[in-house]
Amino acid sequence: MTIETVETHKAHGGVQGVYRHRSAATGGTMTFAVFMPPQAAAGPVPVVTYLSGLTCTHANVMDKGEYRKAAAALGLAVVCPDTSPRGEGVANDDAYDLGQGAGFYVDATEAPWAPHFNMWTYVTAELPALVAAQFAVDPARQGITGHSMGGHGALTVALRHPGRYRSVSAFAPIVAPMQVPWGQKAFPAYLGADPARWRGHDAVALIEDGARLPEILVDQGTADSFLDGQLKPDLLQAACDKAGIALTLRLQDGYDHSYHFISSFMADHLAWHAARLKG
């Protein structure tokens, strides 16, 4: 597995890099960002993967997420993949919530998406293996987080890989995509018409079907324009309460869906992960 270095910058004593590689999962070139803290010079460090939301690339959180200072202080590597395959020959849609920039972290089975839209395999298998081979990270100490569509991805990835991710959090996640317009549009397009095939990519449905995590941290802004129509954190709270999952759901007064919100609580989330990944 080889990677091309696109750019690197020293930051807070560590290195922020952007890298490119040929992906077997997506059948094209993928770009991702990695921040390595200064502690990595002494040996492998814990790693947190951040999954971005609709329309984003690795660059949104890299430029606006304000994670490097906290990650350097805590000794955490932070990996930021793209949200979908891109480029010539990759299917797309004119809408922002389907196609390039909107992979929903699933492996598509339907035309025209199936040849390239295999983001589930990419973020759960191919990219972690690549990062472990190329960077001084400890695969036994992994956490995962994300925003909106990426929060949906973080929750479902962790729920379906019990024990692999020792910490999980999310910013304004889509917790029940089967029950909201974003998921009701994307899931039939990518996975077909049978709702039974969607349940493996819906955090609330996964919990209802028996998936478990010890604990989850979620931050949600009360001024988020998508709160009632698309996000519905109360559904996650109810599912976790019934399942006995310790959900810390923090409703942040006046915050919206933007990176102003994410950056305000990024250090809190990284501290949450560090506390669970240090041992």
Residues annotated as catalytic (active site), given as ranges: 148, 224, 257
Two structure tokens written together for 130: 């690549």
Per DSSP, 90 falls in state -
Going by C-alpha positions, the residue among 77, 17, 11 that lies closest to residue 47 is 77
- Residue 94 phi/psi, 5-degree rounding, is -70, -25
CB atoms within 10 A of CB 25: 20
Residue type, 6: V
| Residue the block writes with tokens 């692999």 | 164
Least Cα distance to 149 among 55, 213, 86 occurs for 55
Beta bridge partners of 221: 252
Count the residues in the chain. 279
Element containing residue 59 per DSSP (H, E): helix 58-64
SS3 117: coil
101-136 b/e (C-beta count within 10 Å ≥ 16 → b): bbbbbbbbeeeebeebbbbbebbbebbbebbbeebb
